Structure 1
Amino acid sequence: MRRALAIALWLGACGTPRAEPDAGTTILEDASQSIDAPVELRAIAGASRYALVGEDVVLDGSGSTGAIRYQWSPGGGLATGPISEDPVLRVRYDVPGREQAVLTVWDASGRRRSASIVISVTRAATHVPRQSSSIAVVGEHLVAVVSPDSDELVIARWSDDATLEVVRRASVCDEPRTLSPWRGRIVVACTGDVVSVVEIESGLAQELALPRGSRPFGVVGTDDSSWVSLQATGMLAEITLEGANPRLARSIRAIDDARGVSVLPDGRIAVTRWRSPDDHGEIAAVDVTSGDVETWTLASDPQPSSDTEVGGVPSYLEQLLVSPDATIAFVPSLQAAIGEGLFVTEGARPLTFETTMRAVISFLDPSTGTEDVERRRQLDNRGFTHAGVLSSRGDYLFALTRGTRTVERLDVLETRLAGSIQDVGLAPNGLALSPDDRFLFVDAYLSREIVMYDVRDFDTEPAALARARIPTTEPLSEMLLRGKILFNDSRDPRLSSDGYIACAHCHLDGLDDHRVWDFTDRGEGLRNTTSLLGFPTTGAIHWTANFDEVQDFEHDIRGPFRGAGLMDDASFHTGTRDTTLGDRKAGISGDLDALAAYVASLATFAPSPFRNSDGSLPEAAQRGRALFEASTTGCTDCHADDRTTDSGFDERGSPRLHDVGTLGAGSGQRLGATLSGLDTPALHGVWSTAPYLHDGSAATLREVLRERNAGDAHGHTSSLSDAEIDDLVAYLRCLDGRRD
């Protein structure tokens, strides 16, 4: 009777029932329910969840209320299910993806409601991702990080109630850069030519010396061995245990400028070439059984630059991240738009703050190395993607942008950005993720903290849950730390616009980026980036001596970087201070002085790997030294004294510039006037700074002395035999600041 009355009342109000009744009205289905308490028609599809490819997935709408008929549209290219009294549909998805499964329900009157859930379909994990990083999960609720400035390894413990506390500190080798868990230990690679092996439980550390000048950087552990990249020599070193003691088992030639190391699904070790050649990026896949090496490439992007994308070559390759299903590898990097500029490309516009470089993520097949160029992802308003970590299912990549201090979440299944965490700390250096994908750990290098986030939900930006101090005490003075922060940062609007450019983006670690930039619009020309190791803080600076103090970089900050400046406007425009070589800027801005102090601290050259193990000169280099110092070659006429340069200004304030026969159409000007010559660069560290000359036109030192020395304008070398040229090159490769 009640059911009949309810239907009659509904018909009286609405007339003939429609196929799609208005929302908010529900027909009572159960005679036991009162007309005063109608059952609301609600479609309840359940919770979004994960599924594996080929796995039975049960779509269950039985939690819906007021419904008598159900229909599922499962997505993923699968057929829509029938309209049925059964609320359940069983399906299998054939490919990975985020599939929206839509449930539609009807009540007895024909009213309809819908709801949807997302089924995230992934492949089964077949690979355990392992790659070098500054931070890593190393045990049950344990995360470890290296501290390069204080030479420490720090281990912290996290809890599920979001606490984080340091439980162990260990002193390790000089300049630790990356770490890897290995057989109950942590292996730490240090650029000071040493590897430290630290027991997780006790903190006991053992050191293993590696070849002089080899500069270990990346390390990754496998079941039997740890593999360490030797950046200066391009070798991949195998570390094994002899009893409880680490030993160097062997070395395999891998790739120039070897940096990051990763384990590939087939057991090979991938080694990234840190600074790319001009036409492509490179990764070596090393078969550690046979010693065979396959070189993979990342394509140079030919597109012209715009305010949203740039062309160019991916460089600063430091990590290769392999997905748990072993089907995709990711390479975070910086894309350098070296094909842009008024001279190098006819009709091109000048390089600007937003067209010089951009953060990118490249995708490739980890079995063949084939790049999926179309999927390469550029990050707007980001200059450099430095590191990353994958979720346990491989459906999300968390990518770290160093200068802008963000973590970007990339939805791998849909190749789209799916959230961001802002300001995660100063010069962040690495990421780690808890095995359950709940907690993300950021190595906030210059904030000196491990920062912990809960990343299960990105509906709102995750907030920092806990922090743990990294170094025991601050290893740098207040001024040096401040200068180092400014050098590495691009988020500060005083330094650059939109977060693209930081000093470190061309001079990471104080080194050169191996790039030649077209600065024609600045009144310069093609300019080869120089290393800052041993860089002068006063005197002639740059190839054309257009600066005479580091504080003059205020002009680059305010100009090409489009920053507001580190000096206030009134001070900048006082006297001739707003011109380079004008009134002194030192002592006016504390931040500019701090930046200069940091650059001055980069005074030590990396040891040359071309010297003997005791640091002495090999016989060929000794013969080359005699040639270098001989009056007949004239090398020391310009490359004089211990500094190997006569760079500077004379008593009238004129720079000592030399025309060595390398000026050409692309050489540009000096301060808007004719370029008569070039400042003499120091030769220390020249073994690692190819290409050579102001325009990068010599790929090797031999080319400097032969092909690019017409008329003996750059030293009298035409009369030297090939053997003597080899000896001279051998000596130049040994110059590393050491006094012989």
Structure 2
Amino acid sequence: MKLTKMFRASATALCCLLALISCRQGPDAASGPLAPVDVKVVDHLVAVLGHESCVLELVDPASGEKVKSIRLAQPPNGMAVDGATAYVAEGGPRGAVEVVDLESGALKRSFPAGHTPMSPVVRGGKLYVACRFDSRVLEMDAATGTVLDSWNVPREPVALAVSPDGRKIWAAGHLPAGAADGDFTAAALTLVEDGKAVHFPLSNGTQGVRGMAISPDGRYLAVAHVLSRYQVPTTQLDRGWMNTNAVTVIDTDDPDKPHPVLLDDPDAGAANPWGVSFSGDGGKLFVTHAGTHELSVIDFPALLERMKREGRSNEPVSERLGFLHGLRTRIALPLNGPRAVASDGENVYVAGYFSDSLAEVSLKDACKSRAIPLNGQFRPSREKLGERYFNDASHCFQGWQSCATCHPDGRVDGLNWDLLNDGMGNPKNTRTMFLSHRTSPVMTLGVRASAEVAVTAGFVHIQFLEPSGELAECVNAYLKNMKEVPSPFLVAHNPSKQQTGGEGCAQCHAPGVERGALSESARRGREVFKTAGCVRCHPHPYFTTKELVATGTATGLDEGKSVLVPSLAEVWRTAPYLHDGRAKTIREAITTCNPGDIRGKTSSLNNRELEDLINYVQSL
């Protein structure tokens, strides 16, 4: 018996040693979800990034075999491939770019790259990275990682494109950056040329931007996004009444004239467009529909010709369903949650985020598709199923939208909506679902007793579908367990102290998430938060009393009504603010939108106290 135990112990130790010296070979993906977020064609292989498994895998599409699995230091968000070298943007608050040799699997270098680096592009010896939650774009030396320049982007850049000559850098912001109570609100593109950044808003109602690509000749941009009809009551879904789904085509020589083209058919939505790519010759444009699990293959020259022939300023293409008729092949994919897309000229490869698989679509054989499993042994938890259902528009009438359409990543879309749960004619700003299950009641006027009730009502009155018990239960499990994204205003390289029950603990609303420490200014601001009376309505740990309070922010048909005190956890990413989204920034919410000090005594604060208070609130 003793010898058997000794043998087992020795074998275990040997396995551990081999694991340590295995030169970055990845873990068994079957132990958890792969969650592929990017795909690239490398010679005859397909490179796949697994976000949750933290691996870069090389797959032979002919056999479906994994040729190599390379372990990464942090969850990857995107990659650029230059020859046999991959530049992998990964991580959150302490994001980095790992430079990986695809032949050996070895790490060459690692560069710090801001908060949640995404969509890296390599061009002419330079590396460009979108730092999503810093709202910045970095230009780096690809060999050394030295930052050469950086530029501000209006809000959450999630996609980059660089012209073939490297002279024009394009960044796509994920969400609108302005107030929501006006006649126009939209996400924007940023063009950097000759070192100067200029911002171009997309069409009114543009939100949920995900992917962008530049044509091989550098002449055109294609941007995938949701196009929301937020100015009408949500009484129906037919013909894209609430949300339509678009790819906007932009002539890079005339960027202030975005030309959105609807991807939906009159009776079949194409929810949540995500990945965008051009064929090598520019003849085809590929767009994935993450909500309806489809791929659109568009004849791009024919699209340009139709846009030129039929486009009229008084009848924008964005309002015309069926515009792509005869120009596009719409393909149902054998996977769930298609996001990233790439092509080798003969086939298109699409990664299924929730199915842990690839789809290969033949461009020469009537666009026939086949599935390539990447993680066949994995079985999702109820929480993971809930995330899948939350993003799945097949649980919506005609596939027009999913829960994630108005709540991307479970948060906000930056728009006001006139929902029917509390009357008609009283639009309100979209609320985040983070912590909603711990801060009941919910909805701005508290009309739902709990988040569980609101989830079921949302399927019925917004998706126009009666949810099954499992569907609602799984979505609730996902929302209850959403992880906080630490604020970019925290000092990321200096982790905060371990979670405690003390009043100063900022981790209690997200146990297990490592947060950076408060800056010196934010620490002073925490005291101002108390003395100004903010803490009365926003106490620790969820920074809300969960009560209805007369704040003076309700207008129109809601004027005089009390509103539910929102949680300030993650408030840095949920702009715009207040009942009707009138405040573009936290500063405006605290100052110009707080007449009579009705929501805290802020009018008497000096400049330093005000800055400290803002820095603290933005750190929550």
TM-score, length-scaled by structure 2: 0.79
**1:308 match:** none
Q: Does 1:190 align with 2:90?
A: yes
Q: Tell me which protein shows more helix as a share of its residues.
A: 2
CA 448–729 in structure 1, closer or farther in 2 if over 3 Å, else same: same
Q: Which amino acid aligns with 1:337?
A: R
Q: Contact 2:335/2:371 (CA < 8 Å) preserved in 1? A: no
Q: Secondary structure at the match of 2:387?
A: helix
Query: Offset at 1:443?
Result: 0.4
1:38-73: CA deviation from partner (whole Å, max 9, x where unpaired): xxxxxxxxxxxxxxxxxxxxxxxxxxxxxxxxxxxx
Per the alignment, in what secondary structure is the counterpart of residue 456 of structure 1?
Answer: coil
Instruction: Tell me which residue corresponds to 1:452.
Output: 360
Paired position in structure 1 for 2:195: 291
* Correspondence for 2:28: none
Is contact 1:658–1:680 with CA below 8 Å preserved after alignment? yes
Kindly provide the CA deviation profile for residues 421-450 of structure 1, in whole angstroms up to 9, marking residues without a partner as x.
11442111111111xx21111101101001
For the 8 Å contact 1:221–1:227, the answer to whether it is kept is yes
1:139 aligns with 2:42: yes
Cα displacement (A) at 1:151:
1.7
Counterparts in 2 of 1:383 and 1:136: CA distance versus 1, 3 Å? closer
**Residues 334 and 370 of structure 2 are in contact (CA less than 8 Å); yes or no, is this contact kept in structure 1?**
no
SS in 2 for 1:430: strand
State the partner residue of 2:215: 323
> Following TM superposition, by how much is the alpha carbon of 1:485 offset from its aligned partner in structure 2, in angstroms?
1.1
Q: 1:505 aligns with which of 387, 391, 405?
A: 405
Q: Which among 521, 531, 545 is matched to residue 646 of structure 1?
A: 545
1:635 paired with 2:537, answer no
CA distance 1:422–1:136, change in 2 (3 Å): same
Q: Which has the larger radius of gyration?
A: 1
Residue 515 of structure 2 is aligned to residue 617 of structure 1: no
- The 1:315–1:207 alpha-carbon spacing in structure 2 relative to 1, beyond 3 Å, is farther
Alpha-carbon distance in structure 1 between the residues aligned to 2:605 and 2:229: 39
Structure 2, unaligned runs of 5 or more: 1-35, 178-183, 304-323, 495-515
What pairs up with 1:599-610 in 2 under 5 angstroms?
A: 599-610=479-490
2:609 to 724, 736, 740: 724
Distance in 1 separating the partners of 2:382 and 2:415 = 30
* Match status 1:695 vs 2:580: yes
Q: Secondary structure at the match of 1:621?
A: helix
Whether 1:414 and 2:302 are equivalent positions in the alignment is yes
Structure 1 CA distance for aligned equivalents of residues 235 and 472 of structure 2: 27
* Percent of aligned pairs with the same amino acid: 23
Q: What SS is found at the alignment partner of 1:155? A: strand
Alignment of 1:3-152 (within 5 A): 134-152=37-55
Match of 2:346 among 438, 447, 454: 438
State the superposition RMSD in angstroms.
2.5
Distance change >3 Å, CA 138–CA 453, structure 1 → 2: closer
Work out whether 1:396 is the aligned partner of 2:284: yes
Deviations 1:683-731 (A, max 9, x none): 1221222100121011111221222222222112222234322221121
Runs of 5+ in structure 1 lacking a partner?
A: 1-132, 301-312, 342-348, 568-588, 648-655, 669-674, 736-740
Q: Deviations over 1:158-201 (max 9, x none)?
A: 34xxx432211122243322111035211121242222222111
| Cα distance change of structure 1 residues 456 and 522 upon mapping to structure 2, 3 Å threshold | farther
- Among 469, 472, 478, the alignment partner of 1:592 is 472
Q: CA deviation at 1:228?
A: 0.9
Q: Which of 197, 218, 226 is matched with 1:334 structurally?
A: 226
- Closer/same/farther in 2, CA of residues 280 and 542 from structure 1, 3 Å limit: closer
CA contact (8 A) 1:363 1:376 kept: yes
Q: Could you say which residue in structure 1 is the equivalent of 2:33? A: none
Deviation at 1:337, TM superposition (A): 1.1
Question: What secondary structure is seen at the aligned counterpart in 1 of 2:409?
Answer: helix
**Following the alignment from structure 1 to structure 2, what is the Cα–Cα distance between the partners of residues 542 and 449?**
37
Find the residue that maps to 1:247 and give its secondary structure: coil
The aligned amino acid for 1:185 is T
Q: Are the equivalent residues in 2 in contact too, given 1:611–1:734 (CA < 8 A)? A: no
Match of 1:276 in 2: 176
Q: Aligned-pair distance for 1:285?
A: 1.8
Identify if the C-alpha distance between structure 1 residues 270 and 211 changes in structure 2 by more than 3 Å, giving closer, same or farther: closer
Q: Residue 464 of structure 1: which of 332, 353, 369 is its match?
A: 369
Corresponding residue for 2:457? 555
Aligned match for 2:110, one of 175, 185, 208 = 208
Structure 1 residues 521, 549: closer, same or farther in 2, change over 3 A? closer
Whichever residue aligns with residue 185 of structure 2, its letter is D
Q: Distance in 2 between matches of 1:619 and 1:365?
A: 46
Deviation at 1:215, TM superposition (A): 1.8
Q: Distance in 1 between matches of 2:368 and 2:374?
A: 18
CA distance, structure 1, for counterparts of residue 602 and residue 258 of structure 2 = 47
Which residue pairs with 2:435 in the alignment? 534
Task: Give the C-alpha shift of residue 370 in structure 1.
Answer: 4.1
Contact 1:390 1:397 in 2 (8 A): yes
Q: 1:171 aligned to 2:71?
A: yes
- Report 1 or 2 for greater relative contact order, CA contacts < 8 Å, sequence distance ≥ 6: 2
CA shift, 1:635, in A, is 0.9
Q: Which residue of 2 aligns with 1:255?
A: 153
Amino acid corresponding to residue 276 of structure 1 in structure 2: P
Output the CA distance in 1 between the equivalents of 2:246 and 2:374: 30
Partner SS, residue 440 of structure 2: strand
1:205/1:513 CA distance change after superposition, 3 Å: farther
Q: Give the counterpart letter for 1:151 in structure 2.
A: C
Equivalent position amino acid for 1:439 in 2 = N
Aligned counterpart, 1:516: 416
Aligned-residue offset at 1:372: 5.3
1:103 is aligned to none
Corresponding residue SS for 2:612: helix
- Residue in 2 that maps onto 1:682: 567
Query: Would the alpha carbon gap of residues 155 and 548 (structure 1) be closer, same or farther in structure 2, given more than 3 Å must change?
Result: farther
CA distances 1:237-286 after superposition (whole Å, capped 9, x unpaired): 234355xxx53434401413211011124412211111134434421122
Q: Secondary structure at the match of 1:724?
A: helix
Distance 1:239 1:720 in 2: 40
What CA deviation, in whole Å up to 9, does each residue of 1:298-356 have, x standing for no partner?
A: 232xxxxxxxxxxxx22222322222233322111110112223xxxxxxx84646311
1:153 aligns with 2:38: no
Aligned partners of 1:479 and 1:594 also within 8 Å: yes
The answer (yes or no) to whether the contact 1:520–1:526 under 8 Å persists in 2 is: no
CA contact (8 A) 2:37 2:351 kept: yes
Which residue of the partner structure matches residue 364 of structure 1? Answer: 250
Equivalents in 2 of 1:484, 1:362: separation in Å?
27
SS at match of 1:548: coil
Post-superposition offset of 1:391: 2.0
Question: Would the alpha carbon gap of residues 478 and 639 (structure 1) be closer, same or farther in structure 2, given more than 3 Å must change?
Answer: same
SS at match of 1:626: helix
